[in-house]
């Protein structure tokens, strides 16, 4: 029991510190700035932030959400991102335990979090993050027992996931532009799902795209209904793809879900028929 608690604390703390790095990526990557150097600075007064003022969540609380140097307000988004990242890491721990797949899927969830935040605000998906997903996903596929039983099958599944994930959205983009006479899918979305497919395989990546499309339709319709956006106004699809991709880790395989739905419909029709 003590060992499990210790592991949970370690994973949570790692999540907080990676969440702090996620904030750096979210701010700098869309601006084509290095995420490694220089050290973090206040965006208002440009004063370098001391290490003790850069402790995830705690520094925000102790500083009361203000810069020590100039007193400007620090966005609540920073600690929120850190906490979300820590929760995502704990969810990965729930799925994979303290195993060799834990850091692999922590990278997966970290990348999707950063992509979600960047695409939501700037409507771009940095190629570096998509490439990271491709390299890590395919590079560790031989260890990824969620893909298949044997090493060869895992490699094939990862490669097919890469092809199907990116290829399916590429087809949608080409057909959509031909039919609608405008861009229907961004290149960033295509690269993102190629990377996701390398992690979760071709069946689940198609399922992730389906979930994302459903979520996007609901969100888009709601925003149009409340007149937050115009009918043909584009919305970021990356966050929906990221959520759909994460959900596939927790949902049963698509074939199992389809079979369950068919059984439910059969039972429902049988009851209605008997009545």
Query: What are the tokens at 136?
Result: 């890590």
Residue 33, in any domain of the structure:
yes
Do 132 and 244 lie in a common domain?
A: yes
Nearest CA to 241 out of 171, 194, 181, 178 is that of 194
Assigned token pair, 55: 């402790």
pLDDT at 147: 95
Which residues on neighbouring strands pair with residue 66, listed in sequence order?
Answer: 73
Give pLDDT, residue 155: 97
Tell me what pLDDT residue 217 has.
87
Give the other-Cβ count within 10 Å of 99's Cβ.
13
| Token pair listed for 189 | 């979305």
Task: Flag residues of the chain having pLDDT under 50.
Answer: none
CB 256 within 8 A of CB 206: no
Nearest residue to 161 via CA among 109, 129, 206: 206
The confidence score (pLDDT) of residue 273 equals: 59
pLDDT computed for residue 184 by the predictor: 66
Same domain for 137 and 19? no
pLDDT of residue 120: 92
Same domain, 128 and 64: no
Q: Are residues 131 and 245 in the same domain?
A: yes
* DSSP at 81: H
Closest CA to 192 of 170, 218, 215: 170
Give the total number of structural domains in the chain.
Answer: 2
pLDDT for the residue 232: 64
pLDDT for 122: 92
Domain that holds residue 87: 1-98
Strand spans (E) along 60-169: none
Given a contact cutoff of 8 angstroms between Cβ atoms, the answer to whether 218 and 240 are in contact is no
One domain for residues 143 and 38: no
Residues 6+ apart with CB under 8 A from 59: 52, 53
Residue 48 has what pLDDT? 85
| Statement to judge: residues 228 and 176 lie in one domain | yes
Does residue 112 belong to any structural domain of this protein?
A: no
In a shared domain, residues 64 and 185: no
- What's the Rg (C-alpha) of the chain? 21
In a domain, 219, yes or no: yes
Query: Does residue 187 sit within a domain?
Result: yes
Do 64 and 161 fall into the same domain? no
What are 6-55's pLDDT values in tens digits? 999 999 999 999 999 999 999 999 999 999 888 888 878 878 888 888 89
Tell me if 115 is assigned to some domain: no
Would residue 1 count as lying in a domain? yes
Alpha helices in 226-275 (DSSP H): 238-247, 254-274
């Amino acid at each position: 029991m003590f060992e499990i608690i210790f592991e949970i604390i370690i994973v949570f703390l790692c999540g907080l510190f990676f969440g702090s790095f996620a904030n750096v990526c979210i701010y700098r990557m869309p601006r084509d700035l290095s995420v490694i150097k220089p050290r973090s600075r206040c965006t208002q007064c440009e004063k370098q932030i001391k290490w003790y003022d850069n402790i995830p969540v705690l520094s925000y609380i102790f500083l009361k959400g203000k810069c020590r140097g100039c007193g400007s307000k620090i966005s609540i988004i920073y600690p929120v991102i850190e906490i979300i990242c820590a929760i995502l890491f704990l969810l990965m721990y729930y799925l994979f335990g303290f195993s060799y797949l834990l850091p692999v899927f922590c990278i997966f969830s970290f990348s999707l979090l950063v992509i979600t935040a960047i695409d939501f605000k700037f409507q771009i998906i940095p190629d570096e993050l998509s490439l990271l997903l491709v390299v890590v996903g395919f590079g560790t596929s031989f260890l990824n027992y969620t893909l298949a039983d044997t090493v060869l099958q895992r490699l094939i599944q990862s490669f097919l996931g890469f092809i199907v994930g990116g290829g399916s959205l590429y087809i949608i983009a080409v057909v959509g532009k031909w039919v609608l006479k405008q861009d229907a899918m961004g290149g960033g979305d295509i690269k993102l799902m190629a990377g996701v497919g390398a992690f979760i395989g071709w069946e689940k990546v198609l399922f992730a795209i389906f979930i994302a499309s459903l979520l996007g339709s609901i969100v888009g319709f709601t925003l149009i209904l409340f007149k937050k956006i115009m009918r043909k106004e584009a919305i970021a699809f990356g966050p929906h793809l990221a959520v759909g991709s994460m959900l596939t880790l927790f949902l049963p395989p698509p074939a199992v879900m389809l079979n369950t739905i068919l059984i439910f419909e059969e039972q429902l029709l049988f009851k209605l028929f008997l009545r």
